[in-house]
Chains A and B, each alone.
Chain A
Amino acid sequence: MGCVLEMKQIRKEFSGVSVLNGVDFSVNEGEIRALLGANGAGKSTLMKIICGVYHATSGEIFISGKEEEIKTPLQAAEKGIAIVHQELSMIPTLTILQNFFLGKEIVKNGILQEKQMREEYFKVCEELDFHINPDTKTRDVSVARQQMVEIMKCIHANAKIIIFDEPTTSLTNDEKKTLFEVILKLKEQGKTIIYISHILEEIFLLADTVSIMRNGDMIGTFPKNELTIPIISEHMSGKKYVEGLRLQSYVRKEAEPVFEVQNLSAPNGTKDVSFSVKPGEVVGIAGLVGSGRSEIVRSIFGADKKTSGKVLVDGKEVKITNPKQAIKAGIGLIPEDRKREGVILKQEIYKNATLVQLKKMISRGILSARKERKYSEDAVKKLSIKIPSLDTPINKLSGGNQQKVVVSKWMDEDMKLLIFDEPTKGIDVGAKEDIFKTVEDFAKKGMAIIFISSDLSEVIRTSDRILVVRDGQIIGDVANDNISQKDLMEIILR
């Protein structure tokens, strides 16, 4: 097996700041290579250089032994490099077939060759043993199936090297299984796979070898069987690995619930949900993707409509039909989709941080720059957010630091209940630990917490009690006395 891709001494600088410090990276034909690293380690930059999105400041790229220059994504595609993006890049209003041939339509004398395109499409379907009606509108197709179409596009483009950038973030377990089968099939066909993911289980399942990056350096490439989670974590963070401990519990058992929801139903699929949370208690919500976890909390928060049910704060019923009322009642939400719902990308860090607290930033009728700075500086310190300055637009920060700014919106003494909806999605290990620490701090102050995560180990680490959700309903309410992931999974799947 020859070396299909070799990158030598790749450097990349952005306005004088080095993000790749001379990285060597090579992959053999027919190999599944996992690429690991914390946010900001340089994985994405390296991949973007391979794909012609960025241009390396210096360094050489060899493809199948021949030195090549990749200046544009088109050139990368011609050389057999394809990427399946984390965020899908299909146009929702076109059909699957139209998306499949987007930019590569088969044309004769200016006329689209519909029949020929169909034939080619079905050929690829056959090859992967995956069938989807080419005339369906893309927006009517699940994310997982859209992803398959993206993979089919890579095959159709005759890609030798296929890069997967965190492909499982929005897939259910079944869909993940299908995806893994397809990836293994691609390997059998002699394709080379570069697989980027934060989820170590997936990497142990799929990869032959693992490359680990840290702070713009390639730490090394290791055969899978030489690695364990502690070793990987050490390489990624540069620190000794400590087994993730259960957070300290601060639940005030004798206290009355600070928050209670009774018989909540909503058009988003939430069905007759009732539960309560005590001061200092962390209630985890576990369930598969699509089970309705987010929908339940969105209805509580007034982000989605309710049809019936009561919400009580401090034993008194509160009317919540929009987020403003929820916030007034002392309920905060760190939403699932950070970019779309959590931050305002164009705005400065401090403006994002104070967005919910503006009423408290007023002095003599106008916004006080001093108060805003003080609030954001305190938040930055407390959450150890790494920022160049408070005036930096938030889109310049890594995902983990952006998420901490979202959390900082709620650093308010009057908050009663804070809901974390997938707060650790796409953020690195260090930032995750900081988020957990924040959860602990909030609980210590007596705030009630709801914590949602697709990663069961996180729910187990953080929660005093775990609610299991399926089809918008609570099907289990388990006290967390050292429950194992396996047991919890059994309840979820039962």
Chain B
Amino acid sequence: MKIKKINLRNYGVIIGFLVLCAIISFATPAFLTTRNILNLLRQSAVVGVLSAGMTLIIISGNFDISVGYICGCAGAIAAVLLNKGFSFVTMFVVVILFGALVGTVSGFAVAKLAIPSMIATLGMGQVINGALLLITGGYPISIQNDAMTYIGKESFLGIPVPIYLFVIAIILVNIVLRRTVLGRHIYSVGGNDETSRLSGIRVDFVKIITFVMSSILAAISGIILTARVGTATATAGSGYELDAIAAVVIGGTCVSGGEGNAWKTIIGVLFMSVISNSFNLLEVHVYFQYVLKGLIILVAVGFDSYNRKRASVS
């Protein structure tokens, strides 16, 4: 007997997202306007690129809570280099190298020293936070650069440039995950690292490389952030790691690793952006926004986890 039941787990997030959008469009006419939607998408790009990397990390069975700081610090490095007269390309290469270096150190700490990833990246995050404060001296650094203005403020074919970067990041991550040996190894290591090791997979290498990829994406998101705001600040990027983790998990990637999908992360990112955007439109007090946002994450993830738990028990 063949039973095709619609699996709520696969569609729950999308349905929830649509319902949320519907409610908000009723609550405020300002939501469903082209201007607001484009603005919302532009804002979502930074966390979007971060989340693409976070998807890799979480599937491999780890967490990275330093990405918010990497984003901020990379943005500051970008600003300083451009202000010193270096070209955009030089700046871009340096920022990528910075991301790669940070990722290698975190990955090494997790894979070779066996520090739990939460703790390793907690430490790494503080190191980078300190670096960020040293670079900026605590003051905002504003920039004047054509390439940055283009990235941050312009549109291509009517769509803001950062959105393309977000989509490209997701597509790349998706290709890596779905179509390459490395991607399969990431799923396998996240699913069971001992089986992976005995199957000839270089488990440590896979762990390190996911940190490197994620940190590079975080560094790129820092460039986008600085470009969008026009300024690098000492608090830029802080808290984004939580938005990214929430987006990935709301997207349905399993926190215990080994399962998940980059496409669904897009929904998670949009979900988070729509929530922030609608709070602003509805003029919810910013402190109260934190409370609501936290609760919404708990409900969304709780719904998903509970379904999973029920499915595995009976």
Mark each residue of chain B from 184 to 211: 1 if its CB lies under 8 Å from any CB of chain A, else 0.
1101100110111111111000000000
Let me know if A340 is at the binding interface, CB within 8 A.
yes
Say whether B180 contacts A344, CB under 8 Å. Answer: no
Q: Is the CB of A323 within 8 A of B198?
A: yes
- Assembly CA distance A340 to B195 (angstroms): 7
A324:B201 contact, CB within 8 angstroms: yes
Q: Is the CB of A356 within 8 A of B200?
A: yes
A17 sits at the interface (CB 8 A):
yes
Asked if B258 lies at the interface with its beta carbon under 8 angstroms from chain A, I say: yes
Report which of B185, B195, B258 forms a contact with A341, defined as CB distance below 8 A: B195
Total number of A-B contacts with CB less than 8 angstroms?
79
- Kindly list chain B residues whose C-beta atoms are within 8 Å of the C-beta of A409: 199
Q: Are A358 and B184 in contact (CB under 8 A)?
A: yes
Query: Is B184 within 8 A of A351, CB to CB?
Result: yes
Q: A16-B1, A358-B184 are in contact. Are A344 and B202 (CB under 8 A)?
A: no
Knowing A355-B188, A359-B181, the reply to whether A335 touches B196 (Cβ < 8 A) is no
Instruction: Verify A333–B188 contact, CB threshold 8 A.
Output: no
Contact of A346 among B3, B185, B201, B259 (CB under 8 A): B259
| Residues A327-358 near B (CB distance < 8 A) | 327-328, 333, 335, 340-347, 351, 355-356, 358
Given A346-B258, A366-B179, A367-B180, are A323 and B188 also a contact pair (CB < 8 Å)? no
When the two chains form their complex, are residues B198 and A345 in contact, meaning their CB atoms are under 8 A apart? Answer: no
CA distance A365 to B202 in the complex (A): 19
* A15 within 8 A of partner (CB): yes
Q: Which residues of chain A come closer than 8 Å to B195, judged between CB atoms?
A: 340-344, 355
**Complex contacts, A322 vs chain B, CB 8 Å:** 197, 202
Bound together, the chains give a CA A346 to CA B255 distance in angstroms of: 13
The residue of chain A having its C-beta at the shortest distance from the C-beta of B189 within the complex is A344
Q: Which residues of A contact B314 (CB under 8 A)?
A: 54
Complex Cα gap A199–B121 (Å)? 50
- A405 CB to nearest chain B CB (Å): 11
For the complex formed, measure the closest distance between the CB of B253 and the CB atoms of chain A, giving whole angstroms. Answer: 12
- Chain A residue with minimal CB distance to B187? A347
* B179 contacts across to A, CB distance below 8 A: 366-367
Q: Is the interface of A mostly helix, strand, loop or mixed?
A: mixed
If A335-B198, A356-B199 touch, whether A344 touches B258 (CB-CB below 8 Å) is: yes
Q: Which residues of chain A are near B192, meaning CB under 8 Å? A: 340, 343-346
A257-302: which residues lie under 8 A (CB-CB) from chain B?
301
Q: With the chains together, A342 CA to B188 CA distance in Å?
A: 12
B95 to chain A, nearest CB (A): 27
For the complex, is A231 an interface residue (Cβ under 8 Å from B)?
A: no
B25 → chain A closest CB, angstroms? 38
Taking CB atoms, residues of chain B closer than 8 Å to A358 are 181, 184-185
B3 near A355 with CB under 8 A, answer no
Q: Are A347 and B258 in contact (CB under 8 A)?
A: yes
Instruction: Report the bound CA distance from A14 to B195 in whole Å.
Output: 29
Q: Is B180 within 8 A of A323, CB to CB?
A: no
Residues of B within 8 A of A340 (CB): 192, 194-195
How far, in Å, is A336 (CB) from chain B's closest CB?
Answer: 10
A117 at the B interface (CB under 8 A):
no
| Given the contacts A323-B198, A346-B258, A366-B179, A17 and B184 also touching, CB distance less than 8 Å | no
In the assembled complex, the CB of B7 is this many whole angstroms from the nearest CB of chain A, namely: 12
Rounded to whole angstroms, the CA-CA distance of A365 and B254 in the bound complex is: 28
Pick the most buried of A303, A340, A341, A344: most chain B CB atoms within 10 A of its CB.
Answer: A344
State A367–B181 Cα separation when bound (angstroms). Answer: 7
Q: Which of B185, B188, B195, B259 has the most CB of A within 10 A?
A: B195
Q: Provide the residues of chain A in CB contact with B187, threshold 8 Å.
A: 344, 347, 351
- In the bound assembly, the distance between CA atoms of A333 and B314 in angstroms comes to 34
Q: Is A362 an interface residue (CB 8 A)?
A: yes
A359's nearest neighbour on chain B, judged by CB, is B181
Enumerate chain B residues within 8 angstroms of A355, measured Cβ to Cβ.
Answer: 184, 188, 195-196, 199, 201
Closest B-chain residue to A347, C-beta based? B191
Query: What B residues does A335 contact at CB under 8 A?
Result: 198
Within 8 A of A (CB), among B146-175: 175
A328 to B258, CA, bound (A): 25
Which residues of chain B come closer than 8 Å to A362, judged between CB atoms?
A: 181
Q: Are A344 and B198 in contact (CB under 8 A)?
A: no
Q: Are A346 and B191 in contact (CB under 8 A)?
A: yes
User: Considering the chains assembled together, what is the distance between the CA atoms of A63 and B185 in angstroms?
Assistant: 51
Whole-angstrom CA separation of A196 from B3 in the bound complex: 33
Closest CB of chain A to B294's CB: distance in Å?
29
Inter-chain contact A324/B202, CB cutoff 8 Å = yes
CB contacts (< 8 Å) of B200 on chain A: these are: 323-324, 326-328, 356
**Bound Cα distance from A361 to B180, whole angstroms:** 10
Q: Mark A234-273, 1 if CB is under 8 A from B, else 0.
A: 0000000000000000000000000000000000000000
Cβ B198 vs Cβ A303 within 8 A: yes
Complex CA distance for A362 and B183, rounded to whole angstroms: 13
A328 proximity list for chain B (CB < 8 A):
200
Across-interface contacts of B198 in A (CB, < 8 A) = 301, 303, 323, 333, 335, 341-342
Asked whether B191 lies within 8 Å of A344 as measured between CB atoms, the reply is: yes
Shortest distance between the CB of B189 and any CB in chain A (Å): 9
Residue pair B3, A15 in contact (C-beta under 8 Å): yes
Q: What residues on B are CB-neighbors of A326 within 8 Å? A: 200
Q: How far is the CA of A303 from the CA of B203 in the complex (A)?
A: 13
A15 to B175, alpha carbons, bound, how many Å? 35
Closest to B188 in A: A344
User: A259 to B192, alpha carbons, bound, how many Å?
Assistant: 30
A16 and B188 within 8 A (CB): no
CB within 8 Å of A: which B298-314 residues: 314
Give every chain A residue within 8 A of B259 (Cβ-Cβ).
346
Give A372's nearest chain B residue, CB to CB: B184
CB contact under 8 A between A341 and B180, given known A16-B1, A355-B199: no
Q: CA A324 – CA B187 in complex, angstroms? A: 18
- Which 6 A-B residue pairings sit nearest by Cβ, starting from the closest? A344-B191, A327-B200, A366-B179, A324-B200, A344-B192, A358-B181
Sample 23 A-B pairs with CB under 8 A, ordered by A number.
Answer: A16-B1, A16-B3, A17-B1, A301-B198, A303-B197, A341-B195, A341-B198, A343-B192, A344-B187, A344-B188, A344-B191, A344-B192, A346-B254, A346-B259, A351-B187, A351-B188, A355-B199, A355-B201, A356-B199, A361-B181, A366-B175, A366-B180, A367-B181
For the complex with contacts A351-B184, A355-B188, 7 further pairs of A-B residues with Cβ separation under 8 Å are A323-B199, A327-B199, A340-B192, A344-B196, A346-B192, A366-B175, A409-B199
